[in-house]
Amino acid sequence: MIERYSVPELTAIWSDEHKFQTWLRVEIAVAEAWGDEGVIPAEDVTAITSTATVNVPDVMRYIDETHHDVTAFLRSVADSLGDESRWVHYGLTSNDVWDTATCLQWLDAIDFLTVQVAELRDVVIRRALEHRKTVCIGRTHGVHAEPTTFGLKLLVWVDELRRHQQRLALAREHLAVGQMSGPVGTHASVPPSVEANACARLGLAVAPVTTQIIQRDRHAFVLSVIAGIGASLEKFATEIRALQRTEIREAEEPFTEGLQTGSSSMPHKRNPELCERVCGLARTLRGYSIVGLENVALWHERDISHSGADRIAFPDSTGLLAYMLKIFTGVMDGLRVYPERMQANLEQTRGLVFSAKVLNALLAAGLQREVAYKIVQANAMKAWHDDLDYRSLLEADPEVTSRLSMQQLDELFDVNAYLVHIDDSFRRLGLLEANP
SS (H, E, C) 339-401: HHHHHHHHCCCCCHHHHHHHHHHHHHCCCCHHHHHHHHHHHHHHHHHHCCCHHHHHHCCHHHH
- Of 263, 305, 307, 392, catalytic: 263
Q: Is 174 tagged catalytic?
A: no
The residue type of 414 is D
**Beta-strand (E) ranges in 23-157?**
135-140, 143-149
What is 8-87's CATH number? 1.10.275.10
pTM to 2 decimal places:
0.93
Q: Is 263 tagged catalytic?
A: yes
Whether the Cβ atoms of residue 61 and residue 37 lie closer than 8 Å to each other? no
- Of 50, 67, 141, 300, catalytic: 141
Whether the Cβ atoms of residue 178 and residue 137 lie closer than 8 Å to each other? no
Indicate the pairing of strand 143-149 with strand 135-140. antiparallel
β-sheet bridge partners, residue 106? none
β-sheet bridge partners, residue 137? 147
Whether the Cβ atoms of residue 232 and residue 164 lie closer than 8 Å to each other? yes
What length is written for the chain?
Answer: 436
Domain 95-254+266-344 class? mainly alpha
Residue ranges matching CATH 1.10.40.30 in the chain: 352-412
- Write the CB contacts of 181 (distance below 8 Å, at least 6 apart in sequence): 96, 187, 190, 195, 210, 212
Whether the Cβ atoms of residue 415 and residue 346 lie closer than 8 Å to each other? yes
Q: What's 205's DSSP letter?
A: E
Render the burial of 275-289: b for 16+ CB within 10 Å, e for the rest. Answer: bebbbebbebbbebb
Residue ranges matching CATH 1.20.200.10 in the chain: 95-254+266-344
Residue 258 confidence (pLDDT): 63
Indicate the pairing of strand 205-206 with strand 251-252. unpaired
DSSP string covering 25-51: HHHHHHHHHHHHTTSS-HHHHHHHHHH
Would you report the helix, strand and coil content of the chain in percent, each value rounded to 5?
Answer: 65, 5, 30
Residue ranges matching CATH 1.10.275.10 in the chain: 8-87
β-sheet bridge partners, residue 143? 140
Please choose, from the candidates 373, 393, 117, 353, the residue with its C-alpha nearest in 3D space to the C-alpha of residue 229: 117
* Residue-level pLDDT, tens digit, the chain, 436 residues: 688 899 999 999 999 999 999 999 999 999 999 999 999 999 999 999 999 999 999 999 999 999 999 999 999 999 999 999 999 999 999 999 999 999 999 999 999 999 999 999 999 999 999 999 999 999 999 999 999 999 999 999 999 999 999 999 999 999 999 999 999 999 999 999 999 999 999 999 999 999 999 999 999 999 999 999 999 999 999 999 999 999 999 999 987 666 666 655 667 768 889 999 999 999 999 999 999 999 999 999 888 888 888 899 999 999 999 999 999 999 999 999 999 999 999 999 999 999 999 999 999 999 999 999 999 999 999 999 999 999 999 999 999 999 999 999 999 999 988 888 999 999 999 999 876 5
CA distance 376 to 367: 12
What is 352-412's CATH number? 1.10.40.30
